[in-house]
Amino acid sequence: MHINTTSTTLFIFFTTCTLLHLSVVSAAKCNPDDEAGLLGFKSGITSDPSGMLKSWVRGTDCCNWAGINCLFDNKRVTSLSLSGQSDKPNSFLSGTISSSISKLQFLDGLYLQNLQNISGTFPTSLFKLPNLQFIYIENNDLAGPIPEIIGNMKNLDVLSLIGNRFTGTIPSSISKLTKLTQLKLGNNSLTGVIPQGIQSLKNLTYLSLAGNQLGGKIPDFFSSLTNLRTLELSRNKFFGKIPPSISTLAPKLAYLQLGHNSLSGNIPDFLGKFRALDTLDLSSNQFTGTVPTSFKNLTKIFNLDLSNNFLVDPFPELNVKGIESLDLSNNKFHLKVIPKWVTSSPIIFSLKLANCGIKIKLDDWKPAETYFYDYIDLSGNEISGSAVELVNKTQYLVGFWASGNKLRFDLESLRIGQRLKYLDVSRNSVFGKVPKSVVGLEKLNVSYNHLCGEIPKTKFPATAFVGNDCLCGAPLQPCKA
């Protein structure tokens, strides 16, 4: 015991000496320009509640500061990388990006991700950094236009400005950034059209312009962008048809997201040739006609969202081994049953088939797997029988929506699991009492059924309970004594 303590003390003593020695030696090596550049950056930060920059102290080796990487041979700073964590409330930085960042002449990567509150305009001091290849300024609060001289940063490999408040058009000079492999400008407020010049970016593998206010037609220039694996154009104002040249992306494209636009016409046959396609989102557009039979060949599709269009029967039988997430809601389908390739999926977690013309008895539906289910939406069908067996089996269910069916079961028999947050069985023939266990839900709707008895104390509004046989108590009329 004694000997151990002594040797530990000695060990700590020697380690401390060695560390002190090391830091003195390396402090001498920290390049003065880099130190000045980084301390200048730090002085532009007005609030750092989680202490992300607390190791950034003058006179210590800046290569050892949090978020800093240096070249091994000359110890020049090559990357600055700070990132906030969404699960920690104080994990953000306020302030602006100081122009002194231009002193970091060896910087090749700037990663300022999820810091939430870094504001100001696009930092033009970055144009003075000849080696800069990677810019990730994501989920911050930068605003104003993306400057036209962005085209001068010819070495850029990745430009990601996702999740800021940039406005104006995408500069046409972007066509000069021919080394770009990733261009991510999603979740900003960009306007105008997609510049034709993007077709010069032949090495692009990732193009995301989703979540802006871009409009016009989607340009028909994809035959020069055949390296694309991800194309995200969702949540904009694009109209017209899916351009034919998208067919040239078939060998490699894995993600195609065009949802929440005003696209129209038929879903093209050629989409069935996209053998690598994992995610296809065409939701909330104005697509008409049938889903092409070529979709049988989409054997790798995991996530398919065709909801909120005007698509009609017949829906092809897919050959997928396992779908993870499917949404066909609110089209003009009359599926009659839940498709076999859905029922047999061993990995499905989200199934949304609202208003799909399904006419089954729910007790007869025996999904191969219920373990992964998070969401089931079967609203607006003609489904009869009881939801009890299904809901009881899906122990991790978060949301169950089945309003407007012919379900008939005792609400008190339904297992309201720990994870369940949303339950809507309104407009059915549900009977019995409202159980106390609904209190923990975030949203509940049991209106227009045959429930009776006193409502337990909950936060839900009257519209969640109206239209039943004899429910009483707040928020409805008091029960008779």
> What is the binding site for ligand NAG (CB under 6 A)?
46-47, 94, 117, 119, 162-163, 178-179, 186-187, 203, 211, 272, 293-294, 296-297, 388-389, 392, 403, 413, 415, 426-427, 445, 447-448, 461, 463-464
Question: Which of 215, 127, 209 lies closest to 166 in space, CA to CA?
Answer: 209
**CB of 282 or CB of 464, closer to ligand NAG:** 464
Nearer to ligand NAG, 68 or 311 (CB): 311
- Listing DSSP states for 366-400 in one string gives --S--SS--EEE-TTS--EE-SHHHHHH-TT--EE
Place of tokens 């810091």: 115
Minimum gap (Å) between residue 209 Cβ and ligand NAG: 11
The secondary structure element, H or E, covering residue 311 is strand 310-312
Collapse the DSSP code of 59 into the 3-class scheme (helix H, G, I; strand E, B; otherwise coil) and give the result.
coil
Gap between the Cα atoms of 423 and 436, Å rounded: 14
- Which parts of 371-478 fold into alpha helices (H)? 388-393
Identify which of residues 31 and 230 has a Cβ nearer to ligand NAG in the complex. 230
Q: What torsion, rounded to 10 degrees, do the Cα atoms 204, 205, 210, 214 define?
A: 20
**C-beta of 202: minimal distance to ligand NAG in Å?**
7
Give least dist CB 94 to ligand NAG, A. Answer: 4
Least distance in Å: CB of 291 to ligand NAG? 11
Going by C-beta distance under 8 Å and a sequence separation of 6 or more, which residues neighbour residue 479? 454, 472, 473
Contact 378, 355 (CB under 8 A): no
Closer to ligand NAG by CB, 31 or 164: give it: 164
The Cα-based distances of 113 to 85, 101, 161, 164 in angstroms read 9, 17, 9, 11
Residue number, 240 or 316, with CB nearest to ligand NAG: 316
Within 8 A by CB and 6+ apart from 372, the residues are: 347, 348, 349, 396
Q: Least distance (Å) from ligand NAG to the CB of residue 476?
A: 13
Q: Which is nearer to ligand NAG, 74 or 418 (CB)?
A: 418
The arrangement of strands across the sheet holding 189-190 comes to 143-145, 165-168, 189-190
Q: How far is the CB of 479 from ligand NAG (least distance, A)?
A: 21
Nearest to 251 by CA among 231, 229, 218, 230: 229
CB of 120 to ligand NAG, least distance (A): 9
Minimum Å gap between C-beta 392 and ligand NAG is 4
C-alpha span between 189 and 141 (Å, rounded):
12
Distance, CA of 231 to CA of 422 (rounded, Å)? 32
Q: Which is nearer to ligand NAG, 70 or 222 (CB)?
A: 222
- Of 31 and 458, nearer to ligand NAG (C-beta) is 458
Give min distance, CB of 288 to ligand NAG, in A. Answer: 20
Closer residue to ligand NAG (CB): 81 or 119: 119
Q: Which residue, among 265, 314, 322, has the nearest Cα to 293 in the 3D structure? A: 314
